[in-house]
Amino acid sequence: MEVVRKDYYQYQPAVEQPQPQKKPKKKAKKSYRLEKAMAALSISVFLLLSIFLLLRYAAITEAKHRVIQMTKQLEQIENQRDKLKIELERVSKTNWIEMEAQNRLSMIYPDASQTYYIDINPTKVALLTNEMNRQLSIEEGGHEAAEGSIISKVLNKFAGLLKI
């Protein structure tokens, strides 16, 4: 009997040869550059508008405070004016004036022996007034006549040149 020989082969797995890998095509990355710029721009515009709004609100508030302050000042001035009006009415009354003269200045009414009466003739006063007015007009008129007319000024210039 013959024994058949069995060859045992070891199974070796086939070694795969590295094949050049195909690089997967890179998908074109979508650029969000424009979207980012628009977002940044819209945020900055929003911030600027907010700041502008706050500044305007601050200005309005400041103006309101000034109006309130001026209103208070106006009320104080009106109160002071009213007090001064009352004081003026009190001071302008003759009774108050008389009391102040007697108390503060120690003034009293004159006696009959301290009173003197002067008799003035109105016709003499009128005559003296007319005479004084006439003398003043003559003095003023003499200077004006010499200086008044243009012809007299020119003649005075020529006369002055001839005297030199």
Higher-pLDDT residue of 142, 141 = 141
Give how far Cα 42 sits from Cα of 37, 39, 55, 117, Å. 9, 5, 20, 100
Whether residue 42 is contained in a domain is answered as yes
Average pLDDT over residues 53-74: 96
Q: What are phi and psi of 13, to 5 degrees?
A: -65, 145
At residue 143, does pLDDT exceed 60?
Answer: no
Average pLDDT over residues 96-100: 86
Based on its alpha-carbon atoms, the radius of gyration of the chain, rounded to whole angstroms, reads 59
Whether residue 62 is contained in a domain is answered as yes
Whether residue 14 is contained in a domain is answered as no
> Could you report the per-residue pLDDT of 18-41, keeping only the tens digit for each?
666 676 677 767 778 889 999 999
Give how far Cα 32 sits from Cα of 27, 63, 133, Å. 15, 46, 105
Average pLDDT, the chain: 82
At residue 146, does pLDDT exceed 50?
Answer: no
Q: Does the predicted TM-score (pTM) go above 0.85?
A: no
Whether residue 118 is contained in a domain is answered as no
* Torsion of Cα atoms, 133 then 135 then 138 then 143, to 10°: -100
Of 55-59, 109-113, 145-149, where does mean pLDDT reach its minimum? Answer: 145-149
Whether residue 123 is contained in a domain is answered as no
Whose tokens are 């094949």? That residue is 19
Average pLDDT over residues 77-94: 91
Total number of domains constituting the chain: 1
In angstroms, the CA 67 to CA 48 distance is: 29
**According to the model, what pLDDT value does residue 153 have?**
73
Residue percentage of the chain with pLDDT more than 90:
32
Query: Which residue range is the domain that position 59 belongs to?
Result: 34-109
Whether residue 46 is contained in a domain is answered as yes
Whether residue 140 is contained in a domain is answered as no
Whether residue 50 is contained in a domain is answered as yes
In angstroms, the CA 23 to CA 21 distance is: 6
Q: How many residues does the chain have?
A: 164
**According to the model, what pLDDT value does residue 4 have?**
63
